[in-house]
Amino acid sequence: MTELKNDRFLRALLRQPVDMTPVWMMRQAGRYLPEYRATRGQAGDFMALCTNPELACEVTLQPLQRYPLDAAILFSDILTIPDAMGLGLYFEAGEGPRFRKTVATAADIDALPLVDPERDLTYVVDAVARIRRELNGSVPLIGFSGSPWTLATYMVEGGSSKDFRRTKQLAYNQPELMHQLLDKLAQSVTAYLNAQIRAGAQAVQIFDTWGGALSHAAFAEFSLRYMTRIVAGLIREHESRRVPVIVFTKGGGQWLPRLADSGADCLGLDWTTDIGAARGLVGERVALQGNMDPAILYAAPARIRAEVAAILAAYGRGSGHIFNLGHGITPEVDPAHAGAFIEAVHELSPAYHRPPA
């Protein structure tokens, strides 16, 4: 194995000393980059890009060629698992993800196969291996999956939803069916993330994008429980290194102590949370990732820099912070503004990691 040249990201995830705060951006390989749009145009559509390991590798590496990011993240979609279960994922222009088949009844859920990633999602496993090889030890590679609850919402609704009416109806009226669905998803996600780790992912993130739509009690029952089960089933050491796990529940800022019980090494924070208060609550147990409002990237570079400074100051001295946005970078952002953001983190953060004079 090639030696890792920049392990700042992995060290911060384990709250080990670093020289500066590592930084990456959710959706950093994305539509805000003209080179991404060019490759996507060449691929045809989004799914063609996801399922082509060579092109997926190419777009994964694009932001790293532009910016001194401290991690790469596999380019893929969170909905590959339901697609591999046979639901037929597709994207309509301006519409977001859709499924040709949805899940509504006991028979539908019974009929869903468990996913064997090496057989059913070869294109992802191949992409991970290829990206890892091409990175050549420059920075670590992050693998990822959607959380069972998040995947379930798309499978039941057939796409995005404003209020998750059908999903919640199933959860509240037939909880045993919902648990059967979530159990299949948790088994499949565990296998999927382990396959990514075996193929070369050096950290993994679970995206619980819609966990925050649940009530305080329902979150524990329908989302957290299954993420905890997944974390317990993951390969936690590979290539003689700890494989850190990040759990990110968007809108989960009120649930950090429970999320820290999940066994994750790091919790992702959206921008509604005060990262200093979060560190006070759970900073002895987990690292924290986040948490700048992606909309700040629409502002002028000086304003971006001021926001970075404020978040660094709120987290305070020492390791355990991975700088990121509180959600994915949006297509309308000027790439120069993303550059100003990353530069600000690297320029302003060393002061927080130097030993006191």
If the CB atoms of residues 55 and 296 are measured against a second copy, the closer one turns out to be 296
Query: Could you give the string, one character per residue 201-240, with x where binding to a second copy holds by CB under 8 A and - elsewhere?
Result: -----------x-xxxxxx---------------------
If the CB atoms of residues 135 and 278 are measured against a second copy, the closer one turns out to be 278
CB of 178 to a second copy, least distance (A): 12
Count CB-CB contacts under 10 A for residue 251. Answer: 18
How many residues can be counted in the chain?
Answer: 357
With CB under 8 A as the contact rule, which of the stretches 74-82, 115-123, 271-279, 315-323 interacts with a second copy? 271-279
Conformation bin of residue 159: beta by default, left when phi > 0, alpha when psi is -120 to 50: left
If the CB atoms of residues 102 and 330 are measured against a second copy, the closer one turns out to be 330
Edge-to-edge, what's the strand order for the sheet holding 245-249?
A: 72-73, 141-146, 203-208, 245-249, 266-268, 287-292, 321-325
Residues 278-337, interacting with a second copy (CB under 8 A): 292-296, 298-300, 303, 310, 326, 330, 332
Q: Does 248 bind a second copy (CB under 8 A)?
A: no
If the CB atoms of residues 2 and 169 are measured against a second copy, the closer one turns out to be 169
Q: Does 179 bind a second copy (CB under 8 A)?
A: no
Q: How many residues bind a second copy (CB under 8 A)?
A: 34
Nearest to 210, CA basis, from 176, 172, 168, 180: 168
- Look-up: residue for tokens 């649930």? 255
DSSP state of 115: P
Q: Does 105 bind a second copy (CB under 8 A)?
A: no
Q: Does 158 bind a second copy (CB under 8 A)?
A: no
If the CB atoms of residues 106 and 310 are measured against a second copy, the closer one turns out to be 310
ω into residue 291 within 30 of 0, thus cis?
yes
Q: Determine the distance from the C-alpha atom of residue 165 to the mean position of all C-alpha atoms in its chain, rounded to a whole number.
A: 25
Measured CA to CA, the distance from residue 249 to residue 262 in angstroms comes to 12
CA-based torsion, 222, 225, 227, 230: positive or negative: negative
In the list 108, 183, 221, 274, the residue contacting a second copy (rule: CB under 8 A) is: 274
With CB under 8 A as the contact rule, which of the stretches 71-79, 122-130, 150-158, 268-276 interacts with a second copy? 268-276
If the CB atoms of residues 141 and 267 are measured against a second copy, the closer one turns out to be 267
In the list 168, 225, 250, 321, the residue contacting a second copy (rule: CB under 8 A) is: 168
DSSP H helical ranges for the chain? 8-13, 34-43, 46-50, 53-66, 80-82, 106-111, 117-120, 122-135, 148-157, 165-173, 175-199, 216-219, 225-233, 256-260, 275-282, 301-315, 335-348
Measured CA to CA, the distance from residue 72 to residue 197 in angstroms comes to 14
Q: Which residues are catalytic?
A: 27, 31, 40, 77, 154
Q: Does 35 bind a second copy (CB under 8 A)?
A: no
Phi, psi of 301 (to 5 degrees): -50, -35
CB of 288 to a second copy, least distance (A): 13
Give the interface with a second copy as residue ranges (CB under 8 A).
Answer: 163-165, 168-169, 172-173, 212, 214-219, 251, 253-254, 271-274, 292-296, 298-300, 303, 310, 326, 330, 332
